[in-house]
Structure 1
């Protein structure tokens, strides 16, 4: 078998063709790759070869970001990594030691910042351009305090705020001293309390004023009719059952009870201040206040045993003790009692949102209880110009819903309501009164903080000392009217007192109230209380702009306009009180009416003294005469009314004397409307939307025009802008939403 051999030598022609082909050369020969000490991050990740270029060929082809060029040649070994770890551990230990050293120094600042941030978050519904008013509830600075001579015989001075009547009386007294060249004591201008010589102590061991069961039931019935509609923090059915149980052991006397004693004390106060003194065997003489004081003292003795173990009942007793003190005219002691009441509520956890395990009735009751006492405490603090007991940022309890109805407080009047769902419940008044106080407090804290800044910059003792500073503060207060306006638009129609001749509710247009005969008395009282409280708050906010010493060469249109707004509210209070006292019995037995009217009378007389040629001087002087008539009507019911009438007559006579001197010594000055000369507000003074009745514009008061101007300036003013309003967001429910009712955008749309 033979094997065939094949020639394996290449063909010379074929070999020559292959050497000449470029494609064959590229396939057989490849450039040598440059060695690198360390591949880039991507190449190491994908475990592919890298080169020394930057970026490398692989990253450039894939469009990736190649690692830093400096890091490619960095040598990383395990020992170097351990050294780096040790270095970082040492650095961390050093920083921890520094942090521990600084922690004690910064903990207080950090807590304060957290509280301020929380307050700012919860107040986000307010205008973003304003300083957050909730943070001012702390009263960190004594910026609004002043020392005045007390009305009691003491060498010590008492400290009150610029918003207090005591400070206002001190200013008026100083002006009268200089103008009449005679000394006027502050005692002459203070309203005496019901116990004219101070607290008359009753010797409980020698005297007793115990009543029979039927007499106490009659007195408690007066309380449910007169006071429960304003301060609905009790369950009428439970209290009646509780009172009945106290008489089960004996038919002669009942078991001691602090709650029943304080309710009887308030009821006796009410009966002693009304013209009807004989009912169910109760014959009252001039010692009605002494009898009321005896029950109050016994209540305080019983409460002393519960200081270490407070309860809701003891808190209710403290609250009505505050009401009794306020009715008697002891405002300082009422303010002290309010602080104790607030602290008792805090110990009971009422300032916090009710727990989830509670029923809706219990939750509404706790909210209503807290906001009733907290709103009254805030109101007392503003009236005296003193700090509140608890900072607002610490309160998480939400305002009660005005649509809730945990119980019917006045079952006897429930059948009188018309058959519709538009009438308020017991919680409605509490809700809107609390919101009114909050809106007033927002203006109060923001405005007086601005006054503090102005006084700090000028070094003056008061804003009235510097005309430019006063006008600047007036412009700032002008921009804050939206707080009250936002509240007004949230008040339901059922809680507004209607006006005659097309007048607007809560206005100062001079229209009389329309008394509706089909409305139950408790609802009429709620309406009157809400409106009189609003005018009183507004009057107090404007009152700092009544200047007793004026530079006639310096024209301050907005400050003068605020003084007119102040006196307009005082005139409105006087007209409402006079009309209701002469036409109805809704205000009978209410000592608070005397306090409202007294503050309004001081404002009226102060305006006549400070502006003898003012445009509102004739109306103010006429209202002073009406106020004296009111005091004469109340003199048969209240001890302090007689003294108030005498003081008002004396002051009005001195005001007339000074006004006559001014008319003789000064040329005639035509009264002008300061709102027509406002600068910086465009045509706001004359431009009003179609939503306002044109027939009322000629009689519109200064505060109404100011409100319209503030609202319209929201659209183009530097402080208010529609964009800033649109940025307002709703607060989280856990943040209490306490200021959600201050909806400025809704207020703008109403005009």
Structure 2
């Protein structure tokens, strides 16, 4: 709860002393005994002045009142000063700042002679007749916590928005139904399946589109014993004795790996404080360590990541371990056991553990568990007051650490809810915590690395990624607000894809929102946080725009610090992944010439997916930055399915050929990931099988694909092959308004497509999630003897 500026008790006592001289004097004992004499009644004041009302002291009817006259201040009863507490004051300051920014932008636009919000670069300007008057352009204001709070508050207060929130789908069998809204990949896959079912005689049954169980496949190929999760990948000279846990030397190896692999983009720890904590846990004999949930979850994260790296996977002792997604699970389980004792009295360390647990579960593809753990983490942060501005009496590094923890958690929750299409539990309207700082002095005081050049430090990533998430969440709230309003219109269509005018109006609105919020974020990203790109033209190689959908290669600096390269890669991939999620609902499987802006948004979506694929492929091929990174794999999976959907929805588009070429690159990416965890191989098989069947139905053979996708050739020949296959192959019913028409002569091809659908669409859902927690538990494992560590020589 917010704290009043002055407590009632202290302020009342002070005011009583100040107002003593004008308080009516008490009658003497003699006077009180005299009959007929009573104490005069204090004059009533209909409304106290602003100062007396805020400080809760007695006011009088004089003007100015006695209190204001004694302190020499103006006495006002205008009611303008309504700020009662500190959070209210912060919100008011933020509101005024945003209003000033809005007015400055308005003046700048008027000086340029531009009376309309800027449109996104590369998009055609919509005709006035195509956009429905239902959709008004969003306000021109930068994405800030204050502006986002206003949008979310409006969202919650409108009942018609709530009625339209039921627009989504359930997946799973009758036993387990799980809800996803249209922004999720699951909803997009269901739309793909519904579209493909129109071309086959017997569409796949509903139960094939669910979170299918991968327990058997993962259990059979994964780590079978507790010791195998670590021992098989540690080498001959680092064997532990008995039990599933590491020795002190092995623990130190993985903890040191944490600062290299995670700390640069999960900046919620103080390295010096953690090392002191870790050293204090060990006994003098270095064989036993006191329990620590924070140490355990960090080790679990690093085992999960490190055992997937090539230098581990190439070991002969690792040949029997084909999946590492759940490596380190015994440390995760022990962390959870310890956290049970901290639920009633959580600390900052407790919250850090919850955040790391969320990341571990996401990388292991336990999406529902991660989402539930996020809610627990948010509530823990509220208990600790991290959503409020840190107390001023704390040292600055500690205040900034609290800010980074809160905004990292907020970003986690926003990304997860947008990805799954579910409501969030961290409303921005309750947040008064300012964004974290990233100046040079703070970077030197706060951790492991110093400035990289210019105005960038190792702390800049948290600030910029938070700004990106705020911008995306602002666009997301605005767009789905308009989406819900369109579906709630009396007499409107049941789906936006059944009404071209509604679809086009939403596209115009989304285009404007992204131009205002997301493009503004791109413009302010420091140059040192961007990759330079190579662009080849007739004049030679020139650098193209970073954080764009340019398909040119990255210029990876050979001598840049590893932490800076990781931050650049993650910021680039996160930008493309969130952008394609925003655009993806506008991919229509029934395109129309009446929706040019919607088509442009669909092309922008696939452009971001292609850019993400090219970036991931190059970084995996040339560096070690992303190898073994489960999060990068999930981003690539999101992009691959999106490209397949676009390829099916718009085979006549000039973006179809680049998308098809990028799908092959995505298969290569999955094959590289498949060397580190089993789900990568399965993803490569799903994507390769589905696209091959689609190519055969379009009449595109292997030779045409080889000629069209070669690096030396342009995409024109491949586009011609796609058009020829569509108009002359099994789908020879022709194309009307860009949509493939079905003929009766695709019986065998339809059967082949039905086979691949039945075998892959359920796997497509399962890539994002396990269905069972069985693999997480050992065979009758006991925690009773888990705190004795073997000696190095045992």
Q: 1:157 to 1:279 in 2, by over 3 A?
A: closer
* Distance in 2 between residues matched to 1:555 and 1:145, nearest whole Å: 28
Aligned to 1:150: 171
How far has the Cα of 1:161 moved from its partner? 1.6
- 1:479 matches 2:496: no
Q: Quick one: which of 539, 542, 557 aligns to 2:596? A: 557
- 1:629 matches 2:668: yes
How far has the Cα of 1:183 moved from its partner? 3.4
Q: Tell whether the 8 Å contact from 2:223 to 2:327 is kept in structure 1 after alignment.
A: no
Q: 1:596 to 1:190 in 2, by over 3 A?
A: farther
Deviations 1:555-590 (A, max 9, x none): 311010001101100100110001111111111121
* Distance in 1 between residues matched to 2:446 and 2:401, nearest whole Å: 16
* Distance in 2 between residues matched to 1:577 and 1:643, nearest whole Å: 18
SS in 2 for 1:211: coil
Q: Tell whether the 8 Å contact from 2:587 to 2:649 is kept in structure 1 after alignment.
A: yes
User: What are the within-5 Å matches in structure 2 for residues 125-136 of structure 1?
Assistant: 125=101, 130=138, 133-136=148-151
204-213 or 591-600, which moves further after superposition? Answer: 204-213
Aligned to 1:310: 346
Aligned to 1:531: 572
* Distance in 1 between residues matched to 2:290 and 2:183, nearest whole Å: 44
How far has the Cα of 1:193 moved from its partner? 7.5
317-326 or 649-658, which moves further after superposition? Answer: 649-658
- 1:393 matches 2:429: yes
* Distance in 2 between residues matched to 1:197 and 1:611, nearest whole Å: 35
TM-score by length of 2: 0.65
Deviations 1:675-712 (A, max 9, x none): xxxxxxxxxxxxxxxxxxxxxxxxxxxxxxxxxxxxxx
User: What are the within-5 Å matches in structure 2 for residues 91-106 of structure 1?
Assistant: none
Aligned to 1:466: 499
SS in 2 for 1:500: strand
User: What are the within-5 Å matches in structure 2 for residues 487-636 of structure 1?
Assistant: 487-501=521-535, 502-550=543-591, 552=592, 554-636=593-675
* Distance in 1 between residues matched to 2:317 and 2:693, nearest whole Å: 44
Q: Tell whether the 8 Å contact from 1:405 to 1:425 is kept in structure 2 after alignment.
A: no
Q: Tell whether the 8 Å contact from 2:296 to 2:331 is kept in structure 1 after alignment.
A: yes
Aligned to 2:385: 349
Q: 1:198 to 1:599 in 2, by over 3 A?
A: farther
In structure 2, stretches of 5+ residues that fail to align are: 1-42, 47-87, 107-136, 140-146, 157-161, 229-241, 536-542, 700-724, 739-794
Q: Tell whether the 8 Å contact from 1:567 to 1:604 is kept in structure 2 after alignment.
A: yes
Q: Tell whether the 8 Å contact from 2:549 to 2:611 is kept in structure 1 after alignment.
A: yes
Q: 1:617 to 1:157 in 2, by over 3 A?
A: same
SS in 2 for 1:489: helix
SS in 2 for 1:159: strand
Q: Tell whether the 8 Å contact from 2:583 to 2:605 is kept in structure 1 after alignment.
A: yes
How far has the Cα of 1:666 moved from its partner? 5.3
Q: Tell whether the 8 Å contact from 2:292 to 2:335 is kept in structure 1 after alignment.
A: yes
Q: 1:461 to 1:658 in 2, by over 3 A?
A: farther
Aligned to 1:264: 299
Q: Quick one: which of 443, 457, 469 aligns to 2:475? A: 443
* Distance in 2 between residues matched to 1:650 and 1:662, nearest whole Å: 19
* Distance in 1 between residues matched to 2:449 and 2:177, nearest whole Å: 49
Q: Tell whether the 8 Å contact from 1:322 to 1:337 is kept in structure 2 after alignment.
A: yes
Aligned to 1:425: 457
Aligned to 1:221: 256
186-195 or 334-343, which moves further after superposition? Answer: 186-195
309-318 or 163-172, which moves further after superposition? Answer: 163-172
In structure 1, stretches of 5+ residues that fail to align are: 1-84, 89-113, 672-751
Q: Tell whether the 8 Å contact from 2:487 to 2:496 is kept in structure 1 after alignment.
A: yes
Over the aligned positions, Cα root-mean-square deviation in angstroms equals 3.6
305-314 or 275-284, which moves further after superposition? Answer: 275-284
Deviations 1:297-328 (A, max 9, x none): 11001001110001000000000000000100
Deviations 1:507-531 (A, max 9, x none): 1121110010110111101001001
Q: Tell whether the 8 Å contact from 1:194 to 1:640 is kept in structure 2 after alignment.
A: no
* Distance in 1 between residues matched to 2:448 and 2:391, nearest whole Å: 33
SS in 1 for 2:552: coil
Deviations 1:29-56 (A, max 9, x none): xxxxxxxxxxxxxxxxxxxxxxxxxxxx
* Distance in 2 between residues matched to 1:338 and 1:517, nearest whole Å: 37
SS in 1 for 2:442: coil
Q: Tell whether the 8 Å contact from 2:439 to 2:455 is kept in structure 1 after alignment.
A: no
Q: 1:557 to 1:269 in 2, by over 3 A?
A: same
* Distance in 2 between residues matched to 1:191 and 1:432, nearest whole Å: 37
How far has the Cα of 1:120 moved from its partner? 6.5
